[in-house]
Amino acid sequence: MGEVAESIRGDESEEQRKLALFRARVDKEDPDAKEHDDLMLRRFLRARDLNIEKSTAMFLKYLKWRREFVPRGFISESEIPNEIRKEKVFVQGFDKKGRPLAVIMVGKHTSDDRDLEETKRLAVYAMDKLCARTGAQQEKFALIGDFQGWGYASSDIRAYLAVLEILQDYYPERLGKVFMVHVPYLFWTAWKIVYPFIDDNTKKKITFVENKHIRETLLEDIDEHHLPDVYGGKQPLLPIDRDASVKK
């Protein structure tokens, strides 16, 4: 046990050392880096296995993207009116690990009536809201992807890849777990296209839930009082734009 503890302390010490070097590097490269705390820098560092060169490139890319895509610092409801109207994303309390939980009604998304840039803005809007509900003790969020009603019109590969890129490149170490429910057979064709673009770390966090075991499977990670009522829990679905727990 003593050797294990010593090893853990050594790993933490090495991470702290590299975090300090990473901080000095990005602060010098981009003044905006100073606005972000060490928790955020640590997530980018961990996402690149503590490689300072790769972490620096990733973080500088993030800062540039954020300035261009979210110039005001946040996405407002007025920038995503069509996506808000469709009520695709809901916030549902927390799972048993304290991770903020959201439900995404993927089956409500169709390619024929979407604007790709607005879809991307919705993704940022939702992830920013979830991240704002995390803290130093729990930095990750959990998702339920519901494919009820998913059909050919929902097979929007461009949108899926765009959202996946945002999640993996600009919100590293934020995703804790994804439950995929009501997945139709038709979906697997799209899944085969998207799957190669999912990084190995993210793949490990995805769980496909059998239709006949949805409630019992979700209850393993989510308390009944936080489980959405549509899956047999006691929490009514709350559209994310009506969530008043986080103020801008």
- Chain segment 212-223, per-residue pLDDT in tens: 999 999 999 999
Tell which CATH architecture fits domain 2-69: Orthogonal Bundle (1.10)
**pLDDT over threshold 80, residue 245:** no
The CATH class, in words, for 79-242 is alpha beta
**pLDDT over threshold 90, residue 30:** yes
Query: According to the model, what pLDDT value does residue 5 have?
Result: 46
Domain-wise residue ranges, the chain = 2-69, 79-242
pLDDT band for position 242 (50/70/90)?
A: confident
**pLDDT over threshold 50, residue 246:** no
Contacts 24+ apart (CB under 8 A), 73-77: 74/125, 74/128, 74/248, 75/121, 75/122, 75/124, 75/125, 75/128, 77/125, 77/241
pLDDT band for position 13 (50/70/90)?
A: confident
Query: According to the model, what pLDDT value does residue 9 have?
Result: 58
Residues 6+ apart with CB under 8 A from 57: none
Provide the whole-model pTM: 0.91
